Structure 1
Amino acid sequence: MTRKTQTVKSYFSRSDTSKLNVPDAEWKELLSGALYEVARKGATEQPFTGKYWDNEECGTYFCALCGNTLFRSEAKFSSSSGWPSFFKTVRSNSVRYRKESSMEMEILCGRCGAHLGHLFHDGPPPMGRRFSINSIVLGFEADSLQL
């Protein structure tokens, strides 16, 4: 197990919702190059290349950096954009927003501040919102089968 994997796990919690304040220099040491570029520098992965853009399993999506619960599969829809798209978050504080331009809002993890993707206003009714998320910053836990 690499140092990067061991150390990130120290920040990872699926139940703790307290905000993390980790310096960027530390994230750079902890994360792989591609994950760092997306999560901390706001890069965007190429469409149709991420592991979750076409995932149809039932379960919960969470922040790959800190474990914060973000979305449920019931809120995922096919937007044909090439990125996982959701119409609502699990909790109102699951994400934060930062205005990028007159048309776009950046979506950040509500716990660790990782760049997740962008919010667009072309989603399904009644909200009309599309949370377009980079797969690399997501983890996924499938629901267990209920017999």
Structure 2
Amino acid sequence: MPPLSLSLQFARFPAAAEHRAALPRHRVARYVRSALGEDVQAAEITVRIVDTDEGQQLNRDFRGKDYATNVLTFDYSGAPVVAADLVLCAPVVAREAAELGKPLAEHYAHLLVHGALHAQGWDHETGDEDAEAMEARETEILAALGIAGPYAK
């Protein structure tokens, strides 16, 4: 496994304690590491858990989409040294987990893997083939972690 420098940050919001409990540092590190490709020699990742206002502002300012989304990836460098910020919007993640009938921690695992793949250049918005490849990779990584595939139909 490549070395991982991980910063885990939680914004201040009413349900922060619940989200902090679902994301112990060792699990976050495990999820991110599991998504690192063979060509990655090291990774510097910041994971920030935010509220709806911060999530919406970042999505609007950087993607031109005026709503809070589940995960945003800001990738600064690719392999061999991956550097990125992953920003997860806690209320969106909690809502999606409830809608999917999944434990909050498992949905976070999926989104951390998803964001870490984006940080390495994977992109599901460039076409059906790329989306299918990324979904397959996510499913494979999550299975190795003992988590059910997020795209079961």
TM-score after normalising by structure 2: 0.27
More helix by share: 2
Q: Which fold has the larger relative contact order, with Cα–Cα distance below 8 Å and residues 6 or more apart in sequence?
A: 1
TM-score after normalising by structure 1: 0.27
